[in-house]
Chains A and B, each alone.
Chain A
Amino acid sequence: RKEVEQDPGPFNVPEGATVAFNCTYSNSASQSFFWYRQDCRKEPKLLMSVYSSGNEDGRFTAQLNRASQYISLLIRDSKLSDSATYLCVVRGYSSASKIIFGSGTRLSIRP
């Protein structure tokens, strides 16, 4: 089993729709969690950190479920510009070697 798993998609949704995807992780000792966005042939960029209490940034909401060991990303009122691959990142304790990237979920927003 992979340490961090994501549904590769693609998720193909109409503009204005709400879309959500999850990322599961296997190490219960994981400490911090992030969602990154990666556009085609570009570098990953931080979308948002994921806090235990859940957090929201505009149209984006991230949740952490420690009991079931997954994080989620919800995008409301999706825009064409949201089309990208979304990577979840799980980090262990302070060691940089415990950074695990998911392989990404591809999202395509259609007009």
Chain B
Amino acid sequence: NAGVTQTPKFRVLKTGQSMTLLCAQDMNHEYMYWYRQDPGMGLRLIHYSVGEGTTAKGEVPDGYNVSRLKKQNFLLGLESAAPSQTSVYFCASSYTGLDEQYFGPGTRLTVT
């Protein structure tokens, strides 16, 4: 039981490049989330999903897209990376919208 895993762990991008972050969970959770964490700002919700095939915008969705084609996977895409997207990205999952969230280990992204 791996819990929530994220790939890659680290990435450096140049401005304008694209990439996809992968999140996978093996707990059969319905809800999945993508957050970014910046110094002094706490975690901010980018996008979330309440089930396979669904996605919704969170607090800071601009510049990101997501897909949930399979229940266990939640992908976060950056189409044209900007330096403002330099951050630590955490994926999380939960069984319902009110339950404890389980977090992945994070992806450290630097955009130069």
Chain A interface (Cβ < 8 Å from any Cβ of B): 4, 8, 31-32, 34, 41-46, 49, 87, 91, 94-97, 99, 101-104
Contacts and interface: CB of A to CB of B under 8 A. Distances in A.
Nearest to B100: A46
A36 B34 CA distance: 17
Contacts of A94: 96-98
Contacts of A99: 33, 45, 101
Interface string B45-64: 10010100000111100000
Interface stretch (B14-22, B65-73, B77-85, B102-110): B102-110
Contacts of B50: 96
A97 B40 contact: no
Contacts, number: 54
Contacts of B31: 96
B43 interface: yes
A60 B90 CA distance: 26
Contacts of A104: 42
Contacts of A8: 40
A97 B106 contact: no
B97 A96 contact: yes
Contact of B97 (A34, A87, A95): A95
Contact of B48 (A4, A42, A97): A97
Contacts of A42: 105-106
B47 to A, nearest CB: 10
Contacts of A32: 98
B2 interface: no
A3 to B, nearest CB: 10
Nearest to B57: A97
B103 A44 contact: yes
